[in-house]
Amino acid sequence: MEAEQQGLFTLCMIVKNEEAVLGRCLDSVRDLMDEIVIIDTGSTDRTVTVAGWYTEKVFAYPWDDDFAAARNYSFEQATMPYVFWMDADELLAAQEAEKLARLKQQLAQEQAGVEVIWMGTRLFLQSFQATSAVVPVYSERRPRLVRRGHFHWQGRVHEELDTGAGTAMNTDIYIDHRPSAVHTERNLRILKRWIAEEGKAEGRLLFHYANECFGSREYQTAAASYEELLQEPRSCKEERITACLRLSECYRELGEPELRLNSLFRSFSYGLPQADVCCGVAGFFEERRDWESAIYWYLQAIALQTAGPGDRPVSQAYYTWMPHVLISRCFAAAREWQQAYQHNERALAYLPGNQVLLGTRIDLQQVLEERRGEKE
């Protein structure tokens, strides 16, 4: 237990103008951290003051559009055996903090054998509801806790921690991400500068550029970038599947229905069908009022929910309530009322108290009662 007494975790953060959310983040983890390092990259609000309430290790860092460089600098200031990183608009819910406390105790006894600890990140749209039970719209897994001095960040934006062949541990701990701002414009500016200096975009740089163009509704540029990415021989299958989905949405916005559907089917060449892809195919047919085809593909999405998306970040809605809501709508349009009611109930199991679904329940119950009365 000597390591535990001396300290085990350093929390490393980079911040800029995060006065509104920094305290919320630090309050959620301060009792679990033996050291807190905060790197300020040029705040003009009270961020530095708030940071000073929690730690003396607050450092100024000259910002040069390079997130990896700033994060690596934060890691260099750490002195504990393990480095834990978070962003200011994230927090650790009480239940997850209990899990991390148990993990810390385990690592204090067995730390020599573990170098990388993976945790989940859940995205919530309503960032101000710090303790609400709102269903997360998105989740992914990332290395959150690593041995100090062994690993470094790469990438000027959408940076990644290169863990190489480090001995890893997977956990069921989740960080809640409750963003307070959208940074598409900033990210695009950094990516364009990076591409200009590199002379070309390829691999993950091209993937991130396409995603940011998609996010800023530059659909023609995004589509061209995704198509270019899919021609690369070495891009990973998860990125290819995501590219196919985003490409489909681009073609939808650009009024290219055949290319839209072909992009979705194209994803099947990179891996087994997944729930969100099947929902995309179903949506194509639903828009054309082809209820039979739409229902078929929504049923495929539901059947695939237990498999999960693997390592690919995907909206959790596709793996919980969304296919049931959508197929209920299609069954109702096809006048298959009992099926519509059953799937609305399954959606309510995920979203109890949802007023729209509760209203749909009443409407469908009324239709079913009328039909029973007609038969009598």
Looking at 236, 271, 306, the residue that finishes a domain is: 271
Domain assignment of residue 103, yes or no: yes
CATH code for the domain in which residue 295 is found: 1.25.40
Residue 208 token pair: 């991130």
In terms of domains, do 130 and 230 share one? no
Domain assignment of residue 249, yes or no: yes
pLDDT mean over 132-148:
77
Looking at 125, 156, 177, the residue that finishes a domain is: 177
Confidence (pLDDT) at 303: 96
Query: Confidence band (pLDDT; 50, 70, 90) for 367?
Result: very high
Confidence (pLDDT) at 16: 96
Domain assignment of residue 283, yes or no: no
Query: What whole-number distance in Å separates Cα of residue 314 and Cα of residue 330?
Result: 23
Alpha-carbon dihedral angle through residues 164, 167, 170, 175, given to the nearest 10 degrees = -60
Domain assignment of residue 209, yes or no: yes
CATH code for the domain in which residue 241 is found: 1.25.40.10
Q: With beta carbons less than 8 A apart as the criterion, state whether 215 and 185 touch.
A: no
Confidence (pLDDT) at 169: 93
Q: Provide the phi-psi class of 121: left if phi over 0, else alpha when psi is between -120 and 50, else beta.
A: beta
Domain assignment of residue 196, yes or no: yes
Confidence (pLDDT) at 130: 39
Between these two residues, 216 and 34, which has the higher pLDDT value? 34
What domain range is 365 assigned to?
A: 290-376
Confidence (pLDDT) at 133: 43
pLDDT > 80? residue 112: no
pLDDT > 80? residue 84: yes
Query: What whole-number distance in Å separates Cα of residue 273 and Cα of residue 295?
Result: 16
Task: Give me the number of domains the chain comprises.
Answer: 3
In terms of domains, do 226 and 317 share one? no
pLDDT > 70? residue 127: no
Query: What whole-number distance in Å separates Cα of residue 136 and Cα of residue 315?
Result: 8
pLDDT in tens, 43-77: 999 999 999 999 999 999 999 999 999 999 999 99
pLDDT > 70? residue 154: yes
Q: With beta carbons less than 8 A apart as the criterion, state whether 50 and 123 touch.
A: no
pLDDT in tens, 314-361: 788 898 999 999 999 999 999 999 999 999 999 999 999 899 999 999
CATH code for the domain in which residue 69 is found: 3.90.550.10
Between these two residues, 138 and 90, which has the higher pLDDT value? 90
Judged by average pLDDT, the poorest of 35-44, 48-57, 124-133, 147-156 is 124-133
Map residue 44 onto helix, strand or coil.
coil
Confidence (pLDDT) at 184: 81
In terms of domains, do 147 and 197 share one? no
Closest of 83, 86, 91, 92 to residue 111, by C-alpha: 83
pLDDT > 50? residue 198: yes
**Residue 113 burial (CB < 10 Å; 0-12/13-18/19+)?**
exposed
Residue 159 token pair: 């940076």
Cβ-Cβ contacts under 8 Å for 366 (sequence gap 6 or more): none
In terms of domains, do 34 and 135 share one? yes
In terms of domains, do 71 and 162 share one? yes
Residue 224 token pair: 């061209």
Looking at 237, 271, 305, the residue that finishes a domain is: 271
Domain assignment of residue 279, yes or no: no
Query: Confidence band (pLDDT; 50, 70, 90) for 142?
Result: very high
pLDDT in tens, 275-320: 999 999 999 999 999 999 999 999 999 999 888 777 777 788 898 9
Cβ-Cβ contacts under 8 Å for 340 (sequence gap 6 or more): 328, 329, 331, 332, 364
Query: Confidence band (pLDDT; 50, 70, 90) for 4?
Result: very low
Query: Confidence band (pLDDT; 50, 70, 90) for 5?
Result: very low
Residue 88 token pair: 């200011």
**Residue 95 burial (CB < 10 Å; 0-12/13-18/19+)?**
exposed
Q: Mean pLDDT, the chain, as a whole number? A: 90
In terms of domains, do 186 and 333 share one? no
Residue 282 token pair: 């179903």
In terms of domains, do 62 and 168 share one? yes
Between the alpha carbon of residue 331 and those of residues 93, 150, 278, 342, 372, the distances in Å are: 38, 55, 17, 10, 18
In terms of domains, do 8 and 113 share one? yes
Residue 123 token pair: 């995205």
In terms of domains, do 16 and 164 share one? yes
Query: Confidence band (pLDDT; 50, 70, 90) for 131?
Result: very low
Alpha helices in the chain (DSSP H): 2-6, 19-29, 47-52, 67-76, 94-110, 184-198, 203-215, 219-231, 237-253, 257-266, 275-287, 291-303, 322-333, 337-350, 355-375
Confidence (pLDDT) at 336: 97
In terms of domains, do 253 and 135 share one? no
Say if strands 116-123 and 138-147 run parallel, antiparallel, or are unpaired.
Answer: antiparallel
Q: Is the model's pTM score more than 0.75?
A: yes
Domain assignment of residue 276, yes or no: no
133 CA to centre of own chain: 17
In terms of domains, do 220 and 148 share one? no
In terms of domains, do 196 and 171 share one? no
Domain assignment of residue 52, yes or no: yes
Confidence (pLDDT) at 171: 95
Query: Confidence band (pLDDT; 50, 70, 90) for 129?
Result: very low
pLDDT in tens, 244-275: 999 999 999 999 999 999 999 999 999 889 99
pLDDT > 60? residue 134: no
